[in-house]
A and B are shown apart, each in its own frame.
Chain A
Amino acid sequence: MNVLVFNFSWPLLSTLVFLPLVGALILFLMRSDRAAKIWTLAVTLFNAALSLQLYTGFNAATAQYQFAEDLAWIPSLHIRYTLGVDGISLLLVLLTTLLMPLCVLCSWRAISVRVKEFLACILLMEAAMLGVFVALDFVLFYIFWEAMLIPMFLLIGVWGGPRKIYASVKFFLYTLAGSVLLPVAIIALYLHSTPHTFSIPALMGQPYSAALQAGLFLAFFVAFAIKVPMFPFHTWLPAAHVEAPTAGSVLLASVLLKMGAYGFLRFCLPMTPLGVVTFAPYVLALSVAGIIYGGLTALAQSDMKRLVAYSSVAHMGFVTLGIFVLNTRGVEGALLQMINHGITTGALFLCVGIIYERTHSRELSAATGIGRAMPAYVTALAFFGLSSFAFPGTNNFVGEFLVLAGSFAFSSKLAALAIPGVVLSAAYMLRMLQRMIWGGTNNPASSHLMDLNAREIITLVPLLLFVFWIGLLPAPFMNVFHVSVSHLLQQFHAGLHP
């Protein structure tokens, strides 16, 4: 079976990846900051519109990689320039392209120094992030994976909060240290494949020995677990999230964290199934620990950004839980939860950013009782909050339900351990909502706050739309990956019994 489908007349995926790069270069020809902002917005919007063709042209009935492009790149090492999307990466690509315009919009006024450089970093991030999701050659993947660190490092370090330098250096060192063994694992895969190849589809299902698989899995695990981040590798996340500018937080939460989970799905399951089976119990234990730990820590936060950051640790725990129970419900739930977390947590960071622009504080105590002054804002916030703790009718409910259903099928004890996490998420979210909407009504600082302006409404409404769309009618999203997920699990089970 040929795994690549060349079903598009022109290189759509390359365009998506390299258009932002070109856009970033042209940015430096712009005279004024305002023109630069409009240009960046136009580029990201255009890219988002282009990416919709991926959805309309996508054939959900096959697990093949579509919109494929394949060129020789470094022939002596069999490194190729191969791109393609399947059901697993499609939604992540769309999530990325659709979020980028919102990231530009939310920085419209918040960023006032070195604007062009900021926008260039945002565009470079878009190129690298899309590259990670569409690359089907391991070397190409790794280049995008690592190259992303540079603009993100600058985003946090230049435009971040008071402790930005500590946060950015910690982010860079932590994630880089995690992925130093990744190239070694990639090369080992290459040398043990017949014929030698770096092609990701061709590396799946190769008969690697159990010992090699265990070693490879550990190398992958360290890299991906830090990116997710899984407890106890999460300590870079609160620092980076809190200090990053709003757009940076959104990118981190919505897209970067997904890359670790994407790595587990794309590489660990089909390439090292024996390693996965060996280590799955430990990964599951860490996932549950992350869910509970993230929830409890979020409950104790007084800084809104920090609260949302720790809630991410808990939510991503659900994602890894779903992946490593290794059944259809779990994996599909995890995949949907990756998208949901991208939408909801991204939106929550936008909401915190909106308050921060007004009060210049992220303290929960400084933002009490804003319900009267900002009714539209708190309405949006309430919906995103409800979504965050998986209220029925919102997107997270569907995903979390699937993950828990998959976990029950795997082990009811394990699922029972994860249940308190659901309660905890309701507790910390409702606590935040209660304080912000109704608490301390006589807070003098909040009485003259302006409600949402048109730009902010435009930023939030699309996300709100998706919260309910996925919550009430998830089928259009889930249909995309049914076949790919079942193919993935087939590959996984085939690898267990060679």
Chain B
Amino acid sequence: MHLILFAPEILLIAGCLAVFAISLGVGRARLAAFVTLGTALAGLAACAATLVCRGDLFFHAYRVDLFSQLFKLFTMLGLVAVVVFGRQLKDIRADVRPEYFLFLLLGTFGLLTLVSSIELITLFIALELSSYALYLLVPLRQERSGLRVQMESAAKYVMFGIMATGVLLFGMSYLFGVAGSTYFRDLAPALARHWSDPAAVVGMTLVLAGLFFKLAAFPMQLWAPDVYQGASNETTAFIAAVPKIGAVAVLIRFLLCATPADHVLTAVLVIASVCSMFFGNLAALVQKDVKRMLGYSSIAHAGYVLVGLVTLHAGGYAAASFYIFGFVVMSLGAFLVLCLVSREGENVLVDDLAGLHARSPLAALLMGASMFALAGIPPFVGFMGKFLLLTEALRGGFVLLVVLAAINTAIGIYYYLNVVRVMYFSEPGDRPAVRLDALSAVTGVLLLAFMLLLGVLPARLLENTLTAIQAAVIWK
């Protein structure tokens, strides 16, 4: 076994243990934050260093390849950004702040192992590891007087999560029944032979439904707005962006096993995609709480990602992966600003952003760019991602789906534009200035640069993603 292949994960485990040791003492939140940030940066470097490594570990249940490492890289990027701008944990009870970092690292560790798993049990354990750590982050928020909103959110998150897990396991049992093996490399040829068998279709559909929970796609999306609103800002920033990378990776792994697939599967994905887009965008139109609005909008973005997945083709998967990478950057850009605008970790209403251009020009610029990017306006990454998705879907012949996705872009623009309008056209009134510490400012500028760069020069990442996905086909 080559240890280097497992280096990012090992670093994260070491970080977890260190933070656990720190959490045994009292009042060591700053130290825990420091260690977490160091671990995250080291992990990021390790992911970048192992980008071109290839190899199987743990009895071929765990694969390190360009595909997994690319997804890990963006997962770690997400973690670093969240730790940088959320490191003060304004709204987390002071006595549990080190534990918060512990769970954050554990959740990320789960996500890293998730994207490398090529065996059902390994995958399931990784998924649960990441889920349970994240469930615990939600109720750690401070209690508002007479309002236990964080508990309600946590309960909803856990309930929905457990239900999704059940569905997923049930589907996996069918797949196991069809293939007689839990390895993806056995699953793929067995499924290809058995598409006429309803058990294969039902099994795959149930697995997809279970994974839609992580992606917050219809019909497993109901938890998203409430959890986004109830969790503290940093938690939401993480939950909104990072686990979705893992979800897309696993979805692609499963769908790669399911090619050449059945039209039922395509129909399932199309319906999920259309319903996610319309539900997310229409519900987001009327939201006043920015986090809740982003919660609904993330459902719509899950729908866009599915537009790429319905093609059941490497090009479509590459477009979907590119889109989720871009989404992480855009989403973190928006949440960075929310975390800074929120003085004591309270939720931010759209009106609270009034006159942000005067209170902090950089924050307003970043938020504005994120909004335009999420809306899909060029030259930002959101546009390029959406354009790639539409191209691949149209290539696959999904004309109606593409037209509906285009119409959704027009619906979505309204609420994104509303945020920009409030920031730039309204007067700040007596709202206080927003202070950007240097580290957050640098992160913000980097996110802004990423948004522009990935939007204008996507070729490199796109081609690498495509190569990665073509190489990730397991049964060949």
Contacts of B407 in A (CB 8 A): 180
Assuming the contacts A169-B417, A180-B407, asked whether A75 and B394 have C-beta atoms less than 8 A apart, the reply is: no
Is B195 positioned at the interface, with any CB of A under 8 Å from its CB? no
Q: Are A74 and B417 in contact (CB under 8 A)?
A: no
Least CB distance from B300 to A in Å reads 14
A393 vs B372: C-alpha distance when bound (angstroms): 47
Assuming the contacts A181-B406, A191-B395, asked whether A157 and B459 have C-beta atoms less than 8 A apart, the reply is: no
A158 vs B462: C-alpha distance when bound (angstroms): 37
Partner of A157 from the list B414, B421, B458 (CB cut-off 8 Å) is B421
Q: Are A173 and B417 in contact (CB under 8 A)?
A: yes
Partner of B402 from the list A144, A177, A184 (CB cut-off 8 Å) is A184
Main secondary structure of the interface of A (DSSP, over half): helix
Total A-B residue contacts, Cβ distance less than 8 Å: 78
Q: Are A143 and B378 in contact (CB under 8 A)?
A: yes
A interface footprint on B338-377 (CB within 8 Å = 1, 0 otherwise): 0000000000000000000100000000000000100001
Contacts of B425 in A (CB 8 A): 157-158, 164-165, 168
Q: Are A169 and B421 in contact (CB under 8 A)?
A: yes
A interface footprint on B454-468 (CB within 8 Å = 1, 0 otherwise): 000011001100100
A176 vs B425: C-alpha distance when bound (angstroms): 20
Partner of B394 from the list A144, A149, A187 (CB cut-off 8 Å) is A187
Which residues of chain B from 85 to 121 have a CB within 8 Å of any chain A CB? none
Least CB distance from B66 to A in Å reads 16
Is B17 positioned at the interface, with any CB of A under 8 Å from its CB? no
Contacts of B394 in A (CB 8 A): 184, 187-188, 191
| B interface bracket (residues with beta carbon within 8 Å of A) | 20 to 34
Is B14 positioned at the interface, with any CB of A under 8 Å from its CB? no
Is B290 positioned at the interface, with any CB of A under 8 Å from its CB? no
Contacts of B388 in A (CB 8 A): 77
Contacts of B409 in A (CB 8 A): 180
Question: Which A residue sits closest to B391, measured CB to CB?
Answer: A187
Assuming the contacts A157-B421, A165-B421, A183-B390, asked whether A146 and B377 have C-beta atoms less than 8 A apart, the reply is: yes
A interface footprint on B146-177 (CB within 8 Å = 1, 0 otherwise): 00000000000000000000000000000000
Is B379 positioned at the interface, with any CB of A under 8 Å from its CB? yes
Q: Are A158 and B424 in contact (CB under 8 A)?
A: yes
Partner of A149 from the list B377, B391, B459 (CB cut-off 8 Å) is B377
Is B212 positioned at the interface, with any CB of A under 8 Å from its CB? no
Question: Which B residue sits closest to A28, measured CB to CB?
Answer: B361
Contacts of A147 in B (CB 8 A): 377-379
Partner of A187 from the list B372, B377, B390, B466 (CB cut-off 8 Å) is B390
| A interface bracket (residues with beta carbon within 8 Å of B) | 20 to 34
Contacts of B417 in A (CB 8 A): 153, 169, 172-173
Q: Are B406 and A184 in contact (CB under 8 A)?
A: yes
Assuming the contacts A143-B379, A158-B424, asked whether A177 and B410 have C-beta atoms less than 8 A apart, the reply is: yes
Which residues of chain B from 404 to 443 have a CB within 8 Å of any chain A CB? 406-407, 409-410, 413-414, 417, 420-421, 424-425
Which of B407, B420, B466 has the largest count of A CB atoms less than 10 A from its CB? B420
Which B residues are closer than 8 A to A by beta carbons? Answer: 357, 372, 377-379, 383, 387-388, 390-391, 394-395, 402-403, 406-407, 409-410, 413-414, 417, 420-421, 424-425, 458-459, 462-463, 466
Given contacts A73-B459, A77-B391, 14 further A-B contacts (CB under 8 A): A76-B459, A77-B388, A143-B383, A157-B421, A157-B424, A157-B425, A173-B417, A176-B413, A181-B406, A184-B394, A184-B402, A187-B387, A187-B402, A191-B394
Which A residues are closer than 8 A to B by beta carbons? Answer: 73-77, 114, 139, 142-144, 146-147, 149-150, 153-154, 157-158, 164-165, 168-169, 172-173, 176-177, 180-181, 183-184, 187-188, 190-191
Question: What would 28 A/B residue contacts be, using CB atoms closer than 8 Å?
Answer: A73-B459, A74-B459, A74-B462, A76-B466, A77-B388, A114-B357, A143-B378, A147-B378, A147-B379, A150-B377, A157-B421, A157-B424, A157-B425, A158-B424, A168-B421, A173-B413, A173-B414, A176-B377, A180-B409, A183-B387, A183-B406, A184-B390, A184-B402, A184-B403, A187-B387, A187-B390, A187-B402, A191-B395
